[in-house]
């Protein structure tokens, strides 16, 4: 997609409210409060400020005669998805998606995640507002690479992933980014919008497993409901998504089984060197198993997955986004498939600990 020609002015690019300016200032002040992460918080603060300054309201872009028709069509779809999320999925209207940012880079950002080499346990960071999280995001790939290098030198299993979207949890009016509209199908954009809006609706600081699993459920269920509303229950796109979902279940089963083998290994009394050798063997067997069933997959590139250099973080990272679907399905049915009621029921879990919520996600596991 070619870059749209905007007749922008400085006044149009300012943060839209005194509240947002105040929150940026608070983030900058926090840079000097938490000595161990001054540079990082400064990076986030200035990166977020840059985004706020580049924001343009979708309404103004649609009215701009210089805007490319392709971009207009996509932004009109974003408006539709946002309104649908608010009215039909009972998602928080303050979550954003009323503005657009044309990035001068290919991706929004990158995040680094790490796992202990002989434990299926994430390395975590603590930050103001979001609490403890198992990943660290960057607006600059070079900085993400430096962070990963430091973690690797300490012996951690690591992975850098592209950040396809993120939520500021209502602190700022989150825009849609140019990278989110490039080479994406409408239902993929809808899924992304619903996922990030879900984070702004229910979020427990420090509980990434629950937060991501909940948002993934809302994203999927919301996308299905939207497709049915415009194409009917026999939607061809929905059938394609359902096929992908069934294949994802098969893949998840293999991942869970392999993670179980690794967990059992790590709990033995073998030496670390013996565990590392056995770890390599288990992962090699997993990759061979993927190739043996590749004909069963049409929507997931298992050959590409089998060629990947897997480590603990890959297993933990995947399951972070694909856990508890049975629990959420059960709770959604108990709420009579009413999203407003479902969200309120999820909010009521605020008094539980992370571990207690984790047990809930596992309690109805049947896959």
Order of all β-strands in the sheet with 96-101 = 56-57, 96-101, 174-177
Torsion of Cα atoms, 328 then 329 then 330 then 333, to 10°: 120
3-state SS record for 277-333: HHHHHHHHHHHHHHHHCHHHCCCCCHHHHHCCCCCHHHHHHHHHHCCCHHHHHHHHH
Torsion of Cα atoms, 301 then 304 then 309 then 313, to 10°: -20
Establish how many alpha carbons lie within 13 A of residue 189's alpha carbon, considering only the half-sphere containing its beta carbon. Answer: 24
Position 363 confidence tier, pLDDT thresholds 50, 70, 90:
confident
Position 30 confidence tier, pLDDT thresholds 50, 70, 90:
low
294 pLDDT above the threshold of 90: yes
**Residue owning tokens 């947002």:** 20
Enter the tokens of residue 299.
Answer: 């929507």
Give the model's pLDDT for residue 230. 87
Predicted TM-score of the model (pTM): 0.82
Q: What is the DSSP letter of 206?
A: T
The Cα–Cα gap between 270 and 272 comes to 7
pLDDT tens for residues 141-156?
999 999 999 999 999 9
The Cα–Cα gap between 141 and 159 comes to 13
Give the model's pLDDT for residue 37. 67
Domain boundaries along the sequence of the chain? 14-54, 57-231, 236-363
**CA nearest 106: which of 66, 164, 35?**
164
pLDDT tens for residues 229-286?
888 877 788 888 889 889 998 999 999 999 999 999 999 999 999 999 999 999 999 9
Residue 364's Cβ-count burial label (10 Å; 0-12, 13-18, 19+) is middle
pLDDT tens for residues 322-349?
888 889 999 999 999 999 999 999 999 9
The Cα–Cα gap between 66 and 69 comes to 9
Position 138 confidence tier, pLDDT thresholds 50, 70, 90:
very high
């Amino acid at each position: 997609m070619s870059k749209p020609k905007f007749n922008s002015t400085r006044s149009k690019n300012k943060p839209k409210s005194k509240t947002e300016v105040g929150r940026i200032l608070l983030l900058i002040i926090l840079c000097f409060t938490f000595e161990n992460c001054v540079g990082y918080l400064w990076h986030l603060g200035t990166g977020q400020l840059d985004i706020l300054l580049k924001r343009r309201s979708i309404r103004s872009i649609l009215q701009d005669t210089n805007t490319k028709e392709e971009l207009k069509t996509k932004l009109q779809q974003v408006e539709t998805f946002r309104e649908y999320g608010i009215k039909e999925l009972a998602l928080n209207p303050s979550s954003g998606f009323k503005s657009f940012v044309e990035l001068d880079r290919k991706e929004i950002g990158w995040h680094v995640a790490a796992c202990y080499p002989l434990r299926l346990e994430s390395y975590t960071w603590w930050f103001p507002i979001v609490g403890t999280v198992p990943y660290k995001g960057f607006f600059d790939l070079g900085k993400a690479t430096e962070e990963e290098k430091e973690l690797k030198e300490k012996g951690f299993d690591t992975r850098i992933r592209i950040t396809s979207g993120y939520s500021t949890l209502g602190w700022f009016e989150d825009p849609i980014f140019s990278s989110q509209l490039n080479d994406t199908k409408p239902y993929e954009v809808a899924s992304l919008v619903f996922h990030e809006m879900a984070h702004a609706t229910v979020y427990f600081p420090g509980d990434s497993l629950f937060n991501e699993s909940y948002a993934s459920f809302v994203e999927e269920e919301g996308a299905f409901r939207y497709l049915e509303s415009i194409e009917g229950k026999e939607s061809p796109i929905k059938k394609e998504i359902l096929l992908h979902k069934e294949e994802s279940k098969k893949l998840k089963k293999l991942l869970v089984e392999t993670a179980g083998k690794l967990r059992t290994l790590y709990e033995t009394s073998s030496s670390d060197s013996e565990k590392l050798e056995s770890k390599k063997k288990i992962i090699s067997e997993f990759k061979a198993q993927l190739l043996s069933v590749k004909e069963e997959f049409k929507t997931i590139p298992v050959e590409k997955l089998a060629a990947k250099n897997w480590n603990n973080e890959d297993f933990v990272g995947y399951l972070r986004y694909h856990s508890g679907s049975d629990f959420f399905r059960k709770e959604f049915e108990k709420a009579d498939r009413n999203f407003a009621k479902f969200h309120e029921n999820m909010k009521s879990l605020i008094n539980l600990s992370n571990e207690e919520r984790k047990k809930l996600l596992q309690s109805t596991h049947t896959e």
